[in-house]
């Protein structure tokens, strides 16, 4: 029951917000109800995870049903999604009063979190695919929100890339449904050698198509182009969840396919594994390099997401327990960190109107607390100990060296280190120029506009602070998360 409520309460609430036009006349009621639903969603998800269970939603045919089930992987992603959605939602109650069509934004924002809960709790591949497609359609209005020429272009690009990726994945689903019938998620996979006898080559092609298809949402090369276009044009709270949470929908979909349907044994040592590793490492390096060269703040953070989510995909591609632990940890750490960075960007835009990196000199005079929280998140993403990013990257590197994947197992840590240096190169200058703008900086614009010491409103600053501090504390005390990730690794490998 709680699982159903976690899925359908926010969806119904979002539909009501869109339908009740008079809500926009009382902003206090609108934002209060919006925040209350998000808080209730976080509580419902946590209670559902604690209670466990499964439920059948709809029996389409004798062999195809839509159902939900609580397991460890789905629980991790669902709790992470609900908490990140709540914090970004609180931030949006301050950010969106400076935007138009606030009610529409809140309505779709609520619908998407319910759809994501359904995706995370899916019991089988068909159910997950249904919610995956619903996620694309319901999150599109968040990208289109500004309705500018750039936003419409970005929204169409997001839609076309997502649909193309989903169709690639659909081919794999058709093949798997034909050869094994049972598409229920089972740790270690349901495909056996007898099922695919004589069809081994087609199986590998189908799995690779699904990895590339679902990898589209995770921003993996070659279908990554939508991400740096779509994220910057959306309102900052939407950019935060698009980057920190929705990209992880591609990650959980790949985990389900490789570790719960096909089984890692079926692709270990094949061309699929090595091609997947190459694409992930190429994306890690390419994303970091493009972020380093980018001058627009939100677009720089978007390119960073292209790189950092492929850290996760690289860890998964190794099919090795230590690397799997690092990948699951980085799912959490990246979500926390990237939400912090995008919410910080939103606060800067609202407070100053600045969008480019070179404009941020002297930012510490305007919002020193927010910049301090940004610094914590930036250091964590770079991987400086004891912040959280160091922990996941350590496990990824050691897992790569122990994976037995030949030269790629040694090239992987080298690419990760190069990416970490580039990450420092594109994140640290914002902090350094913000606090130490140089002797030639007089801060005349800051003084003339009366911005000095003007921190963001509490509704903006508090979520940034929680996420910034969490990015440090999760690295200082990673034990529970590592133990949880190890238990999942033991289950699927």
Q: What are phi and psi of 356, to 5 degrees?
A: -105, 150
Angle among Cα 138, 139, 141 to the nearest 5 degrees reads 85
- 99-116 pLDDT, tens digit per residue, is 888 999 999 999 999 999
Report yes or no on 198 lying in a domain: no
Report yes or no on 458 lying in a domain: yes
Report yes or no on 380 lying in a domain: yes
Nearby residues of 351 by Cβ (< 8 Å), 6 or more positions away = 366, 367, 451, 454, 456
Report yes or no on 489 lying in a domain: yes
Report yes or no on 364 lying in a domain: yes
Low-confidence ranges of the chain (pLDDT < 70): none
Report yes or no on 470 lying in a domain: yes
pLDDT for 119 equals 97
Instruction: Give CA–CA dist 263/192, Å, rounded.
Output: 9
pLDDT for 214 equals 96
Report yes or no on 309 lying in a domain: yes
| Residue 375: Cβ-neighbour burial (10 angstroms; 0-12, 13-18, 19+) | buried
Report yes or no on 488 lying in a domain: yes
pLDDT for 493 equals 86
pLDDT for 86 equals 97
Closest alpha carbon to 379 in 337, 327, 346, 422: 337
Tokens standing for residue 105: 């934004």
Q: Are 232 and 302 in contact (CB under 8 A)?
A: yes
Range of the domain at 282: 271-493
pLDDT for 28 equals 87
| Residue 493: Cβ-neighbour burial (10 angstroms; 0-12, 13-18, 19+) | middle
Number of domains in the chain: 1
């Amino acid at each position: 029951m709680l699982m159903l409520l976690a899925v359908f309460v926010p969806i119904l609430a979002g539909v009501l917000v869109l339908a009740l036009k008079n809500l926009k006349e009382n902003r206090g009621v609108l934002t209060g109800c919006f925040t209350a639903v998000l808080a209730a969603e976080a509580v419902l998800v946590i209670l559902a995870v604690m209670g466990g269970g499964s439920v059948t939603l709809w029996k389409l045919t004798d062999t195809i049903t839509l159902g939900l089930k609580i397991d460890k992987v789905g629980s991790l992603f669902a709790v992470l999604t609900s908490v990140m959605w709540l914090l970004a939602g609180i931030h949006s109650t301050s950010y969106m009063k400076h935007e138009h069509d606030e009610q529409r934004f809140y309505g779709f924002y609520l619908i998407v979190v319910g759809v994501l809960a359904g995706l995370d709790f899916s019991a089988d591949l068909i159910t997950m695919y249904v919610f995956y497609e619903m996620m694309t359609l319901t999150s599109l209005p968040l990208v289109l929100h500004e309705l500018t020429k750039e936003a419409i272009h970005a929204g169409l690009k997001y839609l076309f890339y997502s649909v193309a990726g989903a169709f690639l994945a659909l081919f794999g689903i058709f093949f798997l449904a034909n050869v094994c019938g049972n598409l229920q998620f089972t740790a270690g996979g349901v495909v056996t050698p007898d099922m695919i006898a004589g069809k081994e080559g087609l199986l590998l092609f189908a799995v690779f198509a699904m990895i590339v298809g679902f990898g589209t949402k995770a921003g993996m090369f070659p279908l990554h182009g939508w991400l740096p276009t779509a994220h910057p044009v959306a309102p900052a709270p939407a950019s935060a969840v698009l980057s920190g949470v929705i990209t992880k929908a591609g990650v959980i979909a790949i985990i389900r396919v490789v570790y719960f349907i096909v089984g890692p044994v079926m692709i270990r040592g094949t061309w699929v594994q090595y091609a997947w590793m190459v694409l992930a490492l190429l994306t890690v390096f390419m994303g970091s390099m493009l972020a380093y060269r980018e001058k627009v703040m939100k677009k720089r953070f978007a390119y960073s997401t292209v790189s950092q989510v492929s850290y996760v995909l690289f860890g998964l591609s190794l099919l090795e327990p230590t690397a799997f632990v690092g990948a699951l940890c980085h799912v959490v750490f990246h979500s926390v960190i990237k939400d912090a960075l995008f919410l910080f960007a939103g606060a800067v835009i609202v407070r100053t109107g600045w969008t480019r990196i070179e404009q941020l000199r002297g930012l510490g005079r305007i919002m020193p607390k927010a910049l301090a929280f940004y610094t914590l998140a930036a250091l964590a993403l770079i991987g400086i100990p004891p912040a959280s990013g160091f922990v996941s990257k350590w496990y990824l590197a050691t897992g790569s060296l122990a994976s037995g994947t030949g030269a790629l197992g040694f090239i992987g840590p080298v690419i990760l280190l190069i990416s970490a240096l580039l990450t420092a190169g594109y994140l640290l200058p914002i902090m350094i120029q913000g606090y130490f703008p140089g002797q030639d900086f007089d801060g005349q614009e800051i003084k003339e506009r009366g911005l000095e010491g003007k921190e963001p409103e509490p509704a903006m600053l508090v979520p940034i602070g929680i996420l910034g501090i969490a990015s440090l504390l999760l690295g200082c005390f990673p034990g529970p998360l590592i133990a949880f990730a190890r238990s999942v690794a033991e289950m699927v490998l």
